[in-house]
């Protein structure tokens, strides 16, 4: 996985032999790469470029909504989810994304309603179950755990990403022990993902585990420009230094 470089389009002229074709598939790969690097702005830009090439590609719409949620633009995400549902009516993944945007925007009743609607459809995706897990994670009972298990079961090739997502939502709820279980599995397949290593390192740091330093170093090595990750690594390093000092 590489970061940086020229993010502009080629300026006309015939493509030379072996030059990358910047089609919708190319932008989808780029969007996924940047999402796994926690560069949500660039991921959003690439999802938008998918739609510039072909506005009927579902992954472009869904990815754009998800990146807006990642960036904290919850109301904007809801607007784009509504636009997407004009092309893909009653799509369960879009309903789940709308539910997630509502939930992150503290609109619990709307979030539950959209989530209930999404699980009543056919061809459910992992996003449907991950969103439902997040919505019900604070409630008593095994609802959230069951939803995470369902998300993983229907993930197919997306299994590592779904485990990363499960770990992330569990970290947001400070359920670090269970989050680490999923994140350790995720980094085995997503070893080039700064986001996966960062989430794992943060969970380990929250539990005072020494492995946090190694995980965060992996993250920073993969994406040296990520200020948040570098700050977290510095914080963990200082904590370890003072712990050793106190021990002496």
The Cα 166–Cα 170 span in angstroms is: 6
Rg of the chain on CA atoms, in Å? 19
Question: What's residue 119's pLDDT?
Answer: 96
3-state SS of the chain: helix, strand, coil percent to 5?
70, 0, 30
What CA–CA distances, in Å, run from 34 to 18, 62, 67, 80?
23, 15, 10, 20
- pLDDT tens digits, 65-119: 999 999 999 999 999 999 999 999 999 999 999 999 999 999 999 999 999 999 9
Question: What's residue 83's pLDDT?
Answer: 97
Residue reference for tokens 């030059």:
19
Question: What's residue 8's pLDDT?
Answer: 33
Question: What's residue 142's pLDDT?
Answer: 81
Domains identified in the chain and CATH numbers: 23-123 (1.25.40.10)
Please tell me the pTM assigned to this model.
Answer: 0.87
Residue pair 118/128 in contact (Cβ under 8 Å)? The answer is: yes
100-104 contact pairs (CB < 8 A, 24+): 100/69, 100/127, 100/131, 100/134, 101/65, 101/68, 101/69, 101/74, 101/75, 101/77, 102/74, 102/78, 103/131, 103/134, 103/135, 104/69, 104/72, 104/74
Q: What is the pLDDT along the chain (248 residues), one digit of tens a residue?
A: 232 333 333 333 445 556 778 899 999 999 999 999 999 999 999 999 999 999 999 999 999 999 999 999 999 999 999 999 999 999 999 999 999 999 999 999 999 999 999 999 999 999 999 999 999 988 766 888 899 999 999 998 999 999 999 999 999 989 999 999 999 999 999 999 999 999 999 999 999 999 999 999 999 999 999 999 999 999 998 875 435 433 44
Residue pair 212/204 in contact (Cβ under 8 Å)? The answer is: yes
Q: Can you give the length of the chain in residues? A: 248
Question: What's residue 139's pLDDT?
Answer: 77
Count how many Cα atoms sit within 13 Å of the Cα of residue 18 in the half-sphere of its side chain: 0
Query: 3-class SS at 6?
Result: coil
State the burial class of residue 93 (Cβ atoms within 10 Å of its Cβ: 0-12, 13-18, 19+): buried
* Cβ neighbours for 106, distance < 8 A, ≥ 6 positions apart: none
The Cα 224–Cα 211 span in angstroms is: 19
């Amino acid at each position: 996985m590489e970061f940086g470089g020229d993010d502009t389009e080629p300026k006309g002229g015939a493509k030379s032999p072996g030059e990358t074709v910047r089609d919708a598939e190319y932008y989808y790969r780029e969007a996924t790469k940047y999402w796994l690097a926690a560069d949500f702005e660039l991921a959003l830009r690439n999802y938008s470029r998918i739609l510039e090439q072909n506005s009927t590609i579902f992954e472009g719409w869904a990815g754009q909504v998800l990146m807006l949620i990642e960036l904290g633009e919850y109301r904007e995400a809801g607007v784009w989810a509504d636009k997407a549902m004009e092309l893909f009516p009653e799509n369960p993944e879009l309903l789940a994304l709308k539910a997630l945007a509502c939930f992150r925007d503290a609109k619990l009743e709307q979030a539950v309603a959209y989530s209930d609607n999404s699980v009543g459809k056919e061809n459910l995706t992992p996003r449907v179950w991950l969103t439902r897990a997040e919505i019900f994670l604070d409630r008593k009972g095994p609802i959230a755990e069951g939803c995470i298990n369902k998300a993983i079961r229907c993930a197919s090739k997306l299994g590592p990403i779904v485990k990363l997502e499960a770990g992330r939502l569990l970290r947001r709820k400070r359920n670090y022990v269970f989050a680490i279980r999923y994140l350790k599995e995720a980094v085995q397949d997503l070893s080039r993902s700064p986001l996966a290593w960062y989430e794992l390192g943060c969970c380990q740091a929250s539990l005072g585990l020494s492995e946090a330093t190694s995980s965060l170093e992996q993250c920073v090595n993969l994406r040296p420009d990520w200020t948040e990750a570098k700050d977290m690594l510095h914080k963990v390093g200082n904590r370890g230094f003072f712990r050793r000092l106190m021990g002496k």
